[in-house]
């Protein structure tokens, strides 16, 4: 069964159709890449899935149940987590706290229990600290050791991107939405992130929907590629199939008016 299903989802801002009658299906354990030129509606698609925008028509189902109309935090608790294209870390909090904060949805201790430090609350704290350690150690030593207690603003750009992924996985999601994970990274970091996304699926067991502009990354990770332009799905299939699709080439490079003449 498909983990995520979008059926005829549309959204317009005023007269502009940002997403138009979009169908998208993601199977459990798949890595699907979404590509398209700037303004194609890729990030809007993520905002629709995570509940930040509500679709005007159509239905979004996760694990068979409709998630349209739920608050973003409820959708997150159902098992969809994301990273942001423009990094949105909790900059003035420590690396550890960034990850532990994302455990809010699957922890329970209320105000009174936190003030009294009941044994249950302390056990829960130990558990999510252990979880944070596990999620951060996914990136080797980069976010461990002394960085553990440092504020997120002291991290380099690439480490911030890694921390965002760690934070997203701390919500214990089944579906991970990665919005341009390789943006702003140098070639070797890009190579590293490509391998990492594969590991996230193979070792972490997450289903992954990823927006990416770097075609090497897309080629390296994707089981399937979906190309969007002006909110419309223009191609879908394997990387080779989509990359050679005439419509995709046209969307990226424009119509070849010279040769058509």
Partner 1 sequence: MSDSTPHGFHSTGAEGPAIGQDEWVARHAEVRLLPARLAPLEQRLRAVPWWAWLTLFVGAFCLFPIVEPSGYVRQVAFLTVLYMLLALGLNVVVGWGGLLDLGYVAFYGIGAYAYALLDSPHYGIHLPTVVSIPVVVVIGALAGLVLGLPSWRLTGDYLAIVTLFFLQLFQTVTTNWQNVTGGPFGILNIDPFGLPGGHKLATAHGGVFAVSYLYVALAIFVVVFVALRLLNNSRTGRAWRSLREDPLAAEAMGMPVNWLKLLAFASGAAVAALTGTLNAALYGNVFPLSFYFVTLITIYTMVILGGSGNQAGVVLGALIVSPLLEVLRDADKSRVLFFVALGGGLAFLGRRNRRIAMVAGATLVFGFVVHAIARAIDGGWVAGQPGAGGFAQLVDHWVIAPEHPARWIAPVAYVGVIAAALLCTVLSGIVRDIATVPTIYLGAFVWENVMLSKPDPARYIVLGLILIVLMVLRPNGLLGERRVEIV
Closest residue by Cα to residue 130 from 157, 159, 103: 103
- Which residues make up the interface to partner 1 (CB under 8 A)? 50, 52, 71-73, 76-77, 81-82, 84, 88-93, 97, 100-107, 109-111, 114-117, 121, 124-125, 128, 141-142, 145-147, 150-151, 153-156, 158-159, 162, 167-168, 170-171, 186, 188-189, 192
Alpha carbon distance 102, 2 (integer Å): 26
In the complex, what is the shortest distance from the CB of residue 214 to partner 1, in angstroms, rounded to a whole number?
16
- The three-class DSSP label of residue 75 is helix
Q: Compare residues 109 and 183 and give the one whose CB is closer to partner 1.
A: 109
In the complex, what is the shortest distance from the CB of residue 36 to partner 1, in angstroms, rounded to a whole number?
22
Alpha carbon distance 156, 153 (integer Å): 8
Q: Compare residues 186 and 256 and give the one whose CB is closer to partner 1.
A: 186
Alpha carbon distance 40, 23 (integer Å): 15
Contact 222, 31 (CB under 8 A): yes
In the complex, what is the shortest distance from the CB of residue 108 to partner 1, in angstroms, rounded to a whole number?
8
Q: Compare residues 92 and 257 and give the one whose CB is closer to partner 1.
A: 92
Closest residue by Cα to residue 39 from 246, 211, 239: 211
Categorise residue 117: left if φ over 0, alpha if ψ from -120 to 50, beta otherwise: left
In the complex, what is the shortest distance from the CB of residue 48 to partner 1, in angstroms, rounded to a whole number?
13
In the complex, what is the shortest distance from the CB of residue 20 to partner 1, in angstroms, rounded to a whole number?
24
Q: Compare residues 159 and 222 and give the one whose CB is closer to partner 1.
A: 159
User: What single-letter DSSP state applies at residue 180?
Assistant: S
- The three-class DSSP label of residue 250 is helix
Q: Compare residues 100 and 200 and give the one whose CB is closer to partner 1.
A: 100
**Residue 198 burial class via C-beta count within 10 angstroms: exposed 0-12, middle 13-18, buried 19 and up:** middle
Task: Please give the radius of gyration of the chain, using alpha carbons only, rounded to the nearest integer.
Answer: 20
In the complex, what is the shortest distance from the CB of residue 9 to partner 1, in angstroms, rounded to a whole number?
19
Q: Compare residues 12 and 154 and give the one whose CB is closer to partner 1.
A: 154
């Amino acid at each position: 069964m498909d983990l995520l299903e979008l059926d005829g989802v549309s959204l317009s801002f005023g007269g502009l159709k940002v997403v138009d009658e979009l169908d998208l299906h993601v199977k459990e354990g798949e890595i699907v890449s979404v590509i398209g030129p700037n303004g194609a509606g890729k990030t809007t698609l993520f905002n629709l899935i995570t509940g930040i925008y509500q679709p005007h028509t159509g239905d979004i189902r996760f694990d068979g149940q409709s998630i349209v109309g739920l608050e973003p935090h409820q959708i997150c608790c159902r098992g969809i987590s994301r990273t942001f294209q423009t990094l949105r870390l909790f900059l003035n909090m420590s690396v550890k706290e960034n990850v532990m904060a994302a455990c809010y949805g699957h922890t329970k201790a209320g105000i009174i229990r936190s003030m009294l430090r009941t044994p249950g609350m302390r056990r829960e704290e130990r558990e999510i600290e252990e979880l944070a350690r596990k999620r951060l150690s996914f990136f080797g030593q980069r976010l461990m050791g002394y960085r553990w207690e440092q504020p997120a603003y002291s991290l380099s750009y690439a480490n911030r991107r890694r921390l965002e992924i760690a934070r997203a996985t701390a919500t214990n999601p089944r579906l991970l939405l990665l919005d341009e994970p390789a943006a702003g990274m140098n070639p070797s970091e890009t190579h590293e992130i490509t391998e990492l996304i594969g590991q996230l699926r193979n070792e972490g067991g997450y289903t992954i929907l990823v927006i990416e502009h770097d075609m090497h990354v897309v080629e390296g990770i994707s089981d399937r590629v979906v190309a969007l332009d002006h909110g419309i799905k223009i191609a879908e299939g394997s990387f080779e199939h989509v990359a050679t699709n005439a419509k995709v080439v046209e969307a990226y490079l424009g119509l070849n008016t010279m040769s058509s003449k």
